[in-house]
Amino acid sequence: MEPWRKGTVIRITQETPNTRRFWIQIPELDRFDFKPGQFVTLDLPIHEQKNKRWRSYSIASWPDGTNVFELVIVLLEGGLGTTYLFNHVTEGSELIVRGPQGVFTLPEPLEKDLFLVCTGTGIAPFRSMVNYLRLHDLPHRDIHLVFGTRTFEDLLYYEEMRALSAVMEGFYYYPTLSREQREGHHHGYVHQVYESICMERKDAFFFLCGWKQMIDEAKNRITALGIDRKSIHQELYG
């Protein structure tokens, strides 16, 4: 288990109307090393009991040899943790951080097609994975990122993902909107999108990241396609 360390918030930007990006530096380390897909835990001053102060977030950046990493966080109505982060944390604030943690990481080697299915801030670990693969020119089969949100303005890292799909061989991006129709985007839910791609692909890894309802439905649908349950990996939010 990694120790608790002090982190300094060095930058904050508003990504969507209810989502912010936080860049955190760990001054005591020369570099913050982690595997794409891992998360960190924050100890926030929101409760007397330790375990009720802890909030975990997937790292949205990729290992770059520095001691800085990025989180992307959505403001949850009534959520003590995100309310504190949005109302009290500014550039220069200190946070208590533990990590990296987690085993939601890419298989080695990547010998199968990869389906990355997410909603909301669930795109964070997949952004880390895809950028890492490209920057290190690692061999891979086809990668399909199916990202579902309600509206176009909720699409995190939209221009970045479009640019990646244009220059990264074998990377395909499927922005999917459930409450808005927009030319060039899928309409509906993520399930119909990956099902249409995967009908003839039984040899694939599925990585799922998002809320429990989406993940539960996805696991049922994916196994119904004939995919081995051992090829399904998940990171649950909430």
Which pairs with CB-CB distance under 8 Å and at least 24 residues apart come from 52-55? 55/81, 55/82
Task: Please give the pLDDT value at position 199.
Answer: 73
Task: Please give the pLDDT value at position 200.
Answer: 67
Question: 233, 10, 212: which is closest to 125 by C-alpha?
Answer: 233
Residues of the chain where predicted confidence (pLDDT) is lower than 70: 200-201, 238
Q: Where are the domains of the chain?
A: 4-101, 113-237
The answer to whether residues 122 and 209 touch, using CB atoms and an 8 Å cutoff, is yes
Tell me which CATH code domain 113-237 carries: 3.40.50.80
Which listed CATH number (3.30.930.10, 3.40.50.2300, 2.40.30.10, 3.30.70.2860) goes with 4-101? 2.40.30.10
End-to-end Cα spacing for the chain:
22
Task: Please give the pLDDT value at position 201.
Answer: 67
| Dihedral angle over CA of 144, 147, 151, 156, nearest 10 | -110
